[in-house]
Chain A
């Protein structure tokens, strides 16, 4: 097997497609959520069109940085500003990982409630309405305070600080994983029970369930860093959460070994709307990732051809 591939690699070098690119496969990481599978498959298919060989490897979101640093893995397509920034910065600082720029998608995360809560809690989406109906959101464990279901502790998010700074009558309960978070939403939605929780986009949940994000005072860097800024003069975090880009990250050796591919990767760009539609097609309409990606590529030929041509 190994010999054969070396042999064909030699043949391939003789027939220049993108002469300077290595014919070794570029290893792209796959995680366990559909959006990332779509982004990565799309990148992979476009790279194939550009004449590169690719290989998909399953890896954990944060643990993959260990592999990117050593060159075991080559490309990670979705590093969220909101959850992966720390790990990305640390990896880039080591000199073994490079940031390949934005994917064009914008990560949004905020407190979110289902539409049926608007009747029971008039005044939403304004955050001040939350206090008026904290009772509605209370459960046996948290009463008299309302219950807010936050993301896993590892996601950060400063929700305890926000509750404190804005004087919200809520208790923050952390889900252990993404799956647990949305399992509760699904169950509450089926029963039409009150719930307010951490939701992020692009994700299938805002597409599947009817609801909105709570409107907090607008985020600014000063609001997070400087207590005197914002509604509460004595506390920081008295505002909503920041939005941020989703980054591409690669092994530092990638631009040297596959200079052509590196250009294509840097040019990759897709909007939240396109992504949201594709995620919904996969998770809600039961289509396969490959099918959805192929359909997008057929409809947007000029877009991805542009990434290669530039």
Chain B
């Protein structure tokens, strides 16, 4: 007991000491620099600065203009890949919206029209029913009907075409890489850091190289989308394959299955339900990318959101944004249903009886095709029947702005002076040299010397790239946002777990917040809070709130019932039960929620650059607008390093906590 208490005080001493030293250095760094006349204390000496960005830009130039494999150049290769991707994409676009034509311009002749809107909805309903039941079919059908009624059909179909191309590539590619990593430890080791980077480097950072290599237009956007959306599929595949029960593998081996048979007849079928979770993730991330993809030529709903907000048509932006949410709901529920679907016995009877849905769909497709020749309303949804809520949103926004601005301004001023500005001063005062040491010490203390060294090296890279100041602003904005998100999100999550009714509403709201493109609420936030850090913080909190809520709810629900029972037997009040039993047991989950919140906050930072922050996100954005590939990648790597350090530290904390609780 005595040893334990001594241990605790020593740990406390370490943290308090570290904080005190950092605070003192941050507070007096400027005076120390003046007193010692050593400017290097606050600024990294420019003669030692790394020129990674010019090296990367130079390498990319070489890759694009000179790299040659003898028979063909590197760019020929990437262009060939782009061509292969373009074919199915163009076909789907023709099928869903544009119709098939031969020839171009004035000489174009329509060969066949696209699928009618009725046919597309019928297919969606059929898939919904096939995946689960009539309830799902109705939901999916209603979602697609919404797109038609609210005038989003054309753009939505273009977005759907890119989703239908990106998701199979992401899913199959992820499955392939996952299987490779499962089979060979070497591939697994190689892949891990690459996956970390793919998930943490902001997409903006690699858009320029992708544009150069894959050409302009939707294909480059598709490639960027796949890079962003594939990592979870790889991770899920590895976990799913490792989770296949040993007995099954044993059975496979006893049957004398070859490696190929083992993979495709045993492993993959057994892991399918988990694999579908990965596919679901790929779909959701693909939809997250819709806006960014439209910046480099994907068109569709993302372009509508951007264009509406450029002309401050808030209603138009919200309508297009909600269309993305609705589409995400339809695809999400359908793919989840597929992952839970059980094998069914094949039906018997005539062709009609065996494939009722296929025949119905074929009949509707042909029927609407023929009817559409006479009745245009059957082919494309008539303009007169469309509903617009645009005015409602714009008027609502104006009403809030005129009536509540002063109240909001007062709240903002209080938060700014008591929280944001002091934290900003603290972080931006830390001298770079001490910052590197302190990060190393924290990582060492929490997760061992290996991470300590790695963390110090990563922070060293940031400082040596001349990005220390911006990295500190990033830490401050991200830190404050995560703090507030956790402060709001955890109680909401606990509430959602205790009261299932409220829970459904809260979790539904969180789903919407996460799939609604952040652009949609960025502009109203600026209108109410002006350009600046505060607006950025609000946007980050809104986006990063979801995991804090979800993990808190999950953690509380997962507390073993026998422990709750024990608590009740011991005479705990509900309040004590929550504070003494549930919350401590849920800490590991809560920490994972914090971790996810940090990751989302960091990924959001690049977007907040669009309202005018001065952090690493801005650096990435400037690089993008100047088409400077090297600068973008260096800044992107810096964001990724911060994310990786934070991720490892929080995971280590969560693991220690789990061990202490004996979970």
Which residues of A approach B to under 8 Å, CB–CB? 1, 4-5, 7-9, 11-12, 23, 25, 32-34, 48, 51-55, 57-67, 70, 72-73, 87, 139-141, 149, 152-154, 173-184, 186-187, 190-191, 193, 204, 283
Contact = CB atoms under 8 A, between A and B. Distances in A.
A190 B524 CA distance: 13
A152 B207 CA distance: 20
Nearest to A58: B297
Q: Which of A5, A12, A63, A153 has the most C-beta atoms of chain B within 10 angstroms of its own C-beta?
A: A63
B348 to A, nearest CB: 40
Interface string B300-317: 000100110111100000
Q: Which of B90, B94, B307, B416 has the most C-beta atoms of chain A within 10 angstroms of its own C-beta?
A: B307
Closest 5 A/B residue pairs (Cβ): A53-B105, A8-B103, A67-B216, A187-B527, A4-B102
14 contacts: A33-B310, A57-B216, A60-B296, A62-B624, A63-B207, A63-B211, A66-B216, A140-B413, A173-B532, A176-B613, A181-B531, A184-B527, A184-B530, A184-B531
Contacts of B609: 176
A140 B410 CA distance: 10
B117 to A, nearest CB: 20
B627 A8 contact: no
Contact of A59 (B297, B621, B624): B297
A59 B621 CA distance: 16
B435 interface: no
B307 A32 contact: yes
B402 interface: yes
Contact of B208 (A63, A70, A141): A63
Contacts of B303: 32, 58
Contacts, number: 166
B100 A1 contact: yes
A289 B523 CA distance: 24
A187 B314 CA distance: 12
A73 B296 CA distance: 12
B280 to A, nearest CB: 29
A50 B135 CA distance: 55
A64 B102 contact: no
Contacts of A63: 207-208, 211, 296, 624-625, 627
Contacts of B624: 60, 62-63
Contacts of A181: 531
A221 B307 CA distance: 35
B626 interface: yes
A213 to B, nearest CB: 20
Contacts of A180: 522-523, 526, 531, 610-612
B398 interface: yes
A29 to B, nearest CB: 8
Nearest to A91: B627
Contacts of B401: 187, 190-191
Contacts of A70: 212, 215
Given A70-B215, A154-B622, A183-B523, A4 B103 contact: yes
Nearest to B307: A32
